[in-house]
Amino acid sequence: MADIKIGRMMLGAVQTNCYFIYREGTNRVVFFDPADSGSYIYEQLKNRGFEVGAIYLTHAHFDHIWGCNELKDLSGAKVYAYEDERKLCEDSTANVSAQAGRPYTVRVDEYLRDGQVCTEGDISFRVIHTPGHTVGSCCYYIEEAGMLICGDTLFCESVGRTDLPTGSESTLLRSISDKLMVLPDETKVYPGHGTSTTIGYERDNNPFIMY
């Protein structure tokens, strides 16, 4: 079977990493965290011959959702988020979009559970609930490709902030230790901001991780 490929767009006021995955030789993508300008995302993908099959959120902070509804409307794709993230999806104060000057809520079609395996076309990935940055933060583990799309849970040599609504530092560090550091060292980590990394590199070099 052809390889799974990953692409990235950096969008929005804080240069959020928006990822999309697809099977080589196909034109259907799964899009993660449309940070801003859904029309731009849609047109860029369309110009490359891609169509959006589904939209998944790692969490619902404003800088990961501002393009979501527009991309949903243009593409017809369903939107998925973790079940504990419902309040942030529906409350512009909780997701900090109101404080950022653009109040925004997300129209989610389906809420996900920990351990749920999602299949989009011929690509499957597992939902890993990693609360801490927000109560409903989650990561998506594409085991076949050795990829982890982790939002703002884990960064290269750092971790997500925990001073916004529903955040908890102790919960975040426990999530990383118990849920992410058990993945294979070679797992490629794709965070919501900054450069990609690997689980093995973070285990050895991340000052926030005691493992």
What is the pairing mode between strands 117-120 and 110-112?
Answer: unpaired
pLDDT given for residue 44 in this prediction: 98
Q: What percent of the chain has pLDDT over 70?
A: 99
Q: What is the mean pLDDT of residues 105-112?
A: 98
Q: What percent of the chain has pLDDT over 90?
A: 97
Among 33, 109, 115, smallest CA distance to 66 is for: 33
- Check whether 211 has a pLDDT greater than 70: no
**168-184 pLDDT per residue, tens:** 999 999 999 999 999 99
- Check whether 133 has a pLDDT greater than 60: yes
- Check whether 40 has a pLDDT greater than 80: yes
pLDDT given for residue 210 in this prediction: 72
Neighbouring C-beta atoms of residue 90, cutoff 10 Å: 14
- 32 pLDDT tier (thresholds 50, 70, 90): very high
Q: Domain extents for the chain?
A: 4-205
pTM attached to this predicted model: 0.97
- 1 pLDDT tier (thresholds 50, 70, 90): low
Q: What is the mean pLDDT of residues 71-88?
A: 98
What Cα–Cα distance (Å) separates residue 175 from each residue in 13, 32, 99, 209?
27, 20, 27, 11
CATH number of the structural domain 4-205: 3.60.15.10
How would you write 1-34 as a 3-class SS string?
A: CCCEEEEEEEECCCCEEEEEEEECCCCEEEEECC
Average pLDDT, the chain: 97
